Amino acid sequence: MTCPFSNPRNLFDDLATARETPSIEYSEKLGGYVISRYDDIVSVLDNPGAFSSRPTVPDFPPQVKQIFANKVPERGTLLAWQWIGRCLALFGGITQTNEELSIEQRVQDVLDLHEYVAEVIAERKTDRRDDLISHIWNERDAGVVEMTDYEHLSMIPGLLLAGHETTTNLLSMGISHLLHHDLWNAATEDEEARRTAIEELLRYESAITGMERLVKKESKIGDQIVQPGQKLFVAYNSGSRDSTKFGNPDKLDFKRQHKHQHLGFGRGIHACLGAPFARLLLRTELAVLKERLPNMRLETPYEEIQYCRVHSGRGPERVEIAWDVPSLDEMRVNVGQATVNSALRSSAKTEDLEMVIENVENVTERIVTLTLRPKDGGKVPKWSPGSHVDVQAGTIGYRQYSISSKPSDDQHIKIAVLRENDTGASNWIHQNAIKGSQMLIRGPRNHFSLEFGSRKTIFVAGGIGITPIIPMAEAAKQAGVDYAILYLGRSKNNLAFVNELTEEHGDHFKLWVSQDQGGKRFDLKSFLKQEDVSDLRVYCCGPEGLLTGVEEALADAPPGVLRLERFAAHNNGNTKPNTSFNVVLARSNKVLRVPEDKSVLEVINEAGAGVLSTCSTGVCGTCEVRVLDGLVDHRDVVLTQSEKAEGKSMMPCVSRCLGKKLTLDLW
């Protein structure tokens, strides 16, 4: 009988056996008691006081300490390609004794790297380029971050190992699974498909098998007591295949509704800090491979892929793929299209889509719902709860309306339009939207994206603000998470979808009509005060008074708890007077002057930038552009506070510059 965890190809069978074993068994191969069940893993990771991560940081041998004594360099870091192999070899095996190079030689490699880095840092201080060292200097000079040269140096192992090895392994394993199971096209169809596929691949087989922990005090794991000094191997990959948490866990399923978070990036205070970047990197890699390597296929037979020995990391020794070489004409088309896509990256779907109005229904005296289907008979573009589309209202232009369809309906887009007055876009739609007629839309796009709270998610809507909440609540119901809907209004006659929401969501749905309460307004502060905000997400859409009330009620909540969608720009009284400044279009090197009485959008489009816009008030997000340099005076209500602080994008229809110059990623 094969010793458990000795054959890397049998890893998941061995982990399944461990999960089914009532007791926690010790593994010589993994150097600890194997924690394999999801709930047990979570209990360990959520209690760092009892279970220390110290075993993951082994001591250097005495001879290495002697070599490094008094030789810690004071500055330096660089991700230079020619050094990656040397650094990985050193940091991955400095404590091993079976290497061809001596410890002294490998230590000298590090010192050589330090010397080289010091030279580059000194050069980049006065000669800035498009590289990491220059970027760090820019951030330091701007006062955005305070960092010593030694702190640069300390980043090297993490940047190289976490940013290179794990993502490479995950990509290699993921591609082999996708190609073998004929899921490549489904996984790379569009951005949303790539996001979904990556999360499922992380669940299915992460590049981290697990991590060691040292028991610091007597603790109970499941039904078993562990004692101080005992070592554990916390098997992340096992928890993500626990059938009590994930249905049919040994199958790749992109339609899986996650009720529990996978453990591909760990959990708790030692969860992977680079997870957002890893996700971005993997999405980009899948997109580029899809574009540049047509008809990609496995050359290494799937059953013959050899994995590295079973340890904390997980990865194949080698995966060979093949693809068709495109003709020169195809390459020219692809390059040209890539340029266009890059120039328009800020607008996910910029083309007009021809739709047919399949149904028109008056749901209240002033609200009409339109059910739209593609004119060509195909599926609607992929969208996620919280998305909106731009609808053309005759010669008036485009206006934004939230999608209120069920997320599972890929044949229709449903919107609800409140007639606000006797003129304008909403009035035009009420008068001209007829069953069987055609309508142009753009999108969908999403600036109100949904992320469930780990404990509870609350949806608050006022009036027509219920429209984006409908698919959000449906997604929460299907995911089986704890959620509540609060729907507020003055008169029940003016509130749409009440009967449907009551029927669909039962006790999860609460209606408050002021007219039925003697004119009394709902007490938002008391309602939200009873919730534990640390694990809460609140989504709110409606009139400004409601949004302000929810903001005040959650004023002390941690960042990220509250997400708002406004109907109009929010004036908080902090807007600075307009000043003139320059805008540089980085792709063409054009320098444009933005006067006090013009918006950035007006100026760049007069110069031929061709940036689409809809609302011109900072509400819809259509005109979002990427910012390469400069400080932005954000005046929109689309970007979150953290996105505004990052300063990587802006809405040029309203936002301006806090300094003398902005550099935008435009022609």
Are 480 and 526 members of one domain? Answer: yes
| CA-closest candidate to residue 92, choices 58, 52, 54, 69 | 58
| CA-closest candidate to residue 183, choices 296, 320, 279 | 296
Would residue 524 count as lying in a domain?
Answer: yes
pLDDT at residue 381, as a whole number: 92
Q: Are strands 297-298 and 321-322 parallel, antiparallel or unpaired?
A: antiparallel
Would residue 267 count as lying in a domain?
Answer: yes
Would residue 432 count as lying in a domain?
Answer: yes
Q: Which two tokens stand for residue 430?
A: 């009420």
**Interatomic CA distance for residues 483 and 528, integer angstroms:** 13
**Interatomic CA distance for residues 604 and 665, integer angstroms:** 12
Query: How many domains does the chain fold into?
Result: 5
Are 248 and 282 members of one domain? Answer: yes
Q: Is the Cβ–Cβ distance between 476 and 552 less than 8 Å?
A: no
Would residue 479 count as lying in a domain?
Answer: yes
10-residue averages of pLDDT along the chain (667 residues):
86 95 93 95 91 67 56 43 45 46 66 72 76 75 73 57 75 96 94 92 94 93 92 96 94 84 85 79 91 90 94 92 69 38 35 89 94 93 91 83 93 93 83 93 86 91 94 94 94 91 95 90 90 89 89 85 74 70 90 93 86 75 88 86 84 91 90
pLDDT at residue 123, as a whole number: 79
Number of residues in the chain: 667
Are 287 and 197 members of one domain? Answer: yes
CA distances from 450 to 195, 372, 453, 558, 563 (A): 14, 23, 10, 17, 9
pLDDT at residue 161, as a whole number: 53
pLDDT at residue 613, as a whole number: 73
The angle subtended at Cα 221 by Cα 219 and Cα 226, nearest 5°, is 45
Are 359 and 410 members of one domain? Answer: yes
Are 187 and 239 members of one domain? Answer: yes
**Interatomic CA distance for residues 521 and 549, integer angstroms:** 11
Are 29 and 96 members of one domain? Answer: no
Q: How many CB atoms lie within 10 A of CB 141?
A: 10
> Of 89, 112, 147, at which residue does a domain stop?
147
> Of 99, 115, 147, at which residue does a domain stop?
147
Are 285 and 186 members of one domain? Answer: yes
Q: Which two tokens stand for residue 605?
A: 């489009």
Would residue 152 count as lying in a domain?
Answer: no
Would residue 62 count as lying in a domain?
Answer: no
> Of 88, 117, 147, at which residue does a domain stop?
147
**Interatomic CA distance for residues 309 and 96, integer angstroms:** 15
Are 31 and 174 members of one domain? Answer: yes
Are 269 and 236 members of one domain? Answer: yes
What CATH number did the domain enclosing 640 receive? 3.10.20.30
Task: Look up tokens 């904390």; give the residue.
Answer: 312
Are 396 and 472 members of one domain? Answer: no
Q: What residue type is assigned to position 314 of the chain? A: R
Would residue 527 count as lying in a domain?
Answer: yes
Are 381 and 472 members of one domain? Answer: no
What CATH number did the domain enclosing 389 receive? 2.40.30.10
The helix/strand/coil state of 110 is: helix
Would residue 470 count as lying in a domain?
Answer: yes
CA distances from 209 to 163, 170, 351, 387 (A): 17, 11, 44, 36
Q: Are strands 661-664 and 398-402 parallel, antiparallel or unpaired?
A: unpaired
The helix/strand/coil state of 662 is: strand
Q: What residue type is assigned to position 558 of the chain? A: P
pLDDT digits (tens, 9 = 90+) for 246-267: 999 999 999 887 678 899 988 8
pTM above 0.85, yes or no: no
Domain residues for the domain of 506 are 456-565
pLDDT at residue 163, as a whole number: 58
pLDDT digits (tens, 9 = 90+) for 404-430: 999 999 999 999 999 987 668 899 999
Are 192 and 312 members of one domain? Answer: yes
